[in-house]
Amino acid sequence: MTATVAPEGRRRMRAPKFALALPSIVWYIAFFIIPIALVVVYSFGTKDTSKLVPVDFSNPSTQSYVEVFDETFFTVFRSTVRIAITATLLCLLIGLPVAYFAAFKVSEKWRAIVLAAVVVPSFTSFLIRTVAWRIPLAPNGNVSKWLQDL
């Protein structure tokens, strides 16, 4: 077995290892770090609706943080977390057995029907909104009459 040696010549310049991550880092800074920093800066200002920027920085205060640590906010936070945990547990309690049943117990012939029975209720709000738009957009509906009056 013979060893081959690379020919002596110009070496190709290599980009730094972080160069591939640079676009995602810029995106992360532009759309995550900067907005969060602005929210933190604005949180120390006081409300002033008479200016173009509705926050006055001439008199910074921590009043908004004092309001957040009020008992009312903790009560609402506890209630929200309780509702979220209850909803999550109910979804797991109902969803996992249905998913197991649909994946392993239903025959191939009925699997599409069971999947449709699970997925179709998700479309109901979209369907109701679509049907509801038919009334004002009908030929004798409010929008049509308004456009004809123009």
Find all residues with CB under 8 Å of 25, minimum gap 6, and list them. 18
Identify whether 85 is part of a domain.
no
Find all residues with CB under 8 Å of 55, minimum gap 6, and list them. 42, 45, 46, 47, 48
Residue 56: give the domain boundaries. Answer: 19-66
Identify whether 37 is part of a domain.
yes
96 SS3 class: helix
pTM over 0.95: no
Degrees (nearest 5) of the Cα angle 114, 120, 123? 165
Tokens of 119: 């997925």
Identify whether 78 is part of a domain.
no
Asked if residues 63 and 46 have their Cβ atoms less than 8 Å apart, the reply is yes
Identify whether 90 is part of a domain.
no
Identify whether 145 is part of a domain.
no
Give the pLDDT confidence of 32-51 residue by residue, as tens digits: 999 999 999 988 988 887 87
Reading the chain (150 residues) residue by residue, the pLDDT tens digits are: 666 666 666 777 787 888 889 999 999 999 999 999 999 998 898 888 787 777 888 888 888 888 888 899 999 999 999 999 999 999 999 999 999 999 999 999 999 999 999 888 888 888 888 888 888 888 888 888 888 888
**Res 150: pLDDT:** 80
Identify whether 84 is part of a domain.
no
Find all residues with CB under 8 Å of 115, minimum gap 6, and list them. 102
Identify whether 62 is part of a domain.
yes
**Res 21: pLDDT:** 92
Identify whether 33 is part of a domain.
yes
- Structural domains of the chain, count: 1
